[in-house]
Amino acid sequence: MTFLKMHFFRIILLFLLVFFSCNTTTITSNEFTLNGFDGAVVPAPLSDECLTQIDSTVSRYLSGFRFNGNVLVAYKGYPVAKYSYGYANYYTRERLNHHTLFQLASVSKAFTAMSVLMLYERGQINIYQPVQQYIPEFPFPEITIKHLLQHTSGLPNYMFYVDNYWQKDKPLHYNDVLNLLKVHGNALGFRPGRRFHYSNTGYAMLAMLVEKVSGIPYYRFVKENIFNPLGMDRSFVWNLNDADTVTNVAVGFSRRGRRLRIYNHDPLDEISGDKSVFSTTADMLKWEQAWHPGKLLSDSLIQLAFTKVVTPRQRVHDYGMGWRFTTENNRQVIYHNGLWNGFTSSMSRYIEDEITIILLNNMNAPVAGIVKNLYYKVSDVVNTCKDKELLAANQ
């Protein structure tokens, strides 16, 4: 075989490998039904040609560097691109598919905020009251529920105490975390409300609060009050039963050069609130819809969750309750990223553009940059399509 023929053969082989290993789904303009919300139907917002172009743009960009994970891009609530590529478990060679569950890491915090605000709306708690009113053994009387929601409590990082004072083979519960704080972490970093400091401890304590007030485990509360009403049938919060029985769950890895490190079970996985929600891209699109007014919360509480934290001297922080805020191209973005034991995740809502990007990964990928690039690529195609359709309508 000549050199040119061999080179041509290699190119074709590489193309086939990328094509068949990248589990993409071509989107067409059939109506998309969201399970839950009384079977709300979301009409296709663009033509078949535009949907195919967006799907190809997303797939081409992600395939270019062999992104290992699942991605869903939606426009006006309609999924315009789906992508799934790589391994759920590198050691067993189990491949990812669109139904694979990923640990959401800190993207889980929005579920905690929603749970707490639900209890508030039902009159079961007052977020402006001290946590101690609902958890009497909580050792910091000056900290309110709102302080926990907004990361202004000053609580120390509970993970440090678990790493240093807890046996790795011993189950870990919220009461254990609370006892570790009492014994080893009883000094606050600052007076509550004075500063903003991102706190996993605060959100773990909020999950404990939900359990105390509702009288059921946190994972059950989320399932019964969020997952079931929304039709998030694949999603779960970590608990011993589901951890042992649920299938098609990705495993977290990290890469150093050519070496892979697998993350085995950690006692910290057993603490929810700050992390440990597992979900799929399709379920997360249903979750995004839940943050539109009138779905699971009243308009006023949705706005409260999306209100930026203000600390003394009018310092404004780009965080609300379970959500972060930024701007891209002078347009508002509501988002949260996550990082935990090989898993990286992102859910980003570009408000004026009506674009949502959901990205789930189990290889420590730098999700922030990937989401940003996807936004610009998708928005360019959407805007071009809208201009063409407007031009055609006026002719």
Q: What is the rounded radius of gyration, in angstroms, for the C-alpha atoms of the chain?
A: 22
DSSP β-bridge partners for residue 72 = 82, 358
Helix 109-121 vs helix 281-290: crossing angle, to nearest 10:
40
Q: What is the pLDDT of residues 268-316, one digit of tens each?
A: 999 999 999 999 999 999 999 999 888 999 999 999 999 999 999 999 9
Question: Which pLDDT score is estimated for 241?
Answer: 87
Among the ranges given (7-11, 21-25, 185-189, 304-308), the one the predictor scored with the smallest mean pLDDT? 7-11
d(CA 101, CA 97) in angstroms, rounded, equals 9
Strand, coil or helix: 262 = strand
**Degrees to nearest 5, angle at CA 307 with 303 and 312:** 150
Edge-to-edge strand list for the sheet holding 277-279 = 102-103, 277-279, 236-237
Q: What is the pLDDT of residues 332-352, one digit of tens each?
A: 999 999 999 999 999 999 999
Structural domain boundaries in the chain: 49-94+105-394
Position 33 confidence tier, pLDDT thresholds 50, 70, 90:
low
Of 104, 94, 131, 96, which Cα lies nearest the Cα of 24? 96
Q: Which residues contact 26 (CB under 8 A, 6 or more apart)?
A: 51, 52, 55
d(CA 251, CA 235) in angstroms, rounded, equals 16
CA quadruple 14, 15, 18, 23: dihedral sign: negative
Position 7 confidence tier, pLDDT thresholds 50, 70, 90:
very low
Concatenating the DSSP letter of every residue in 8-53 gives: HHHHHHHHHHHHHHB--B---SS-EEPSSTTT-EE---S-HHHHHH
d(CA 269, CA 239) in angstroms, rounded, equals 9
**pTM of the predicted structure, to 2 decimals:** 0.91
Q: Which amino acid is at 260?
A: L
Query: What's the gap between Cα 162 and its chain centre?
Result: 24
Question: Which pLDDT score is estimated for 294?
Answer: 81
CATH of domain 49-94+105-394: 3.40.710.10
Among the ranges given (31-40, 92-101, 316-325), the one the predictor scored with the smallest mean pLDDT? 31-40
Question: Which pLDDT score is estimated for 392?
Answer: 64
Report phi then psi at 230, rounded to 5.
Answer: -90, -10
d(CA 320, CA 291) in angstroms, rounded, equals 13
pLDDT above 60 for 11: no
Q: Which residues contact 306 (CB under 8 A, 6 or more apart)?
A: 320, 323, 325, 334
Q: What is the pLDDT of residues 81-113, one digit of tens each?
A: 999 999 999 999 999 999 999 999 999 999 999
pLDDT above 50 for 18: no
Q: Supply 330's token pair.
A: 């002078």
| Cβ atoms 306, 323 nearer than 8 A | yes
84 CB neighbour count, 10 Å cutoff: 24
**Degrees to nearest 5, angle at CA 58 with 32 and 43:** 20
pLDDT above 80 for 122: yes
d(CA 70, CA 16) in angstroms, rounded, equals 20
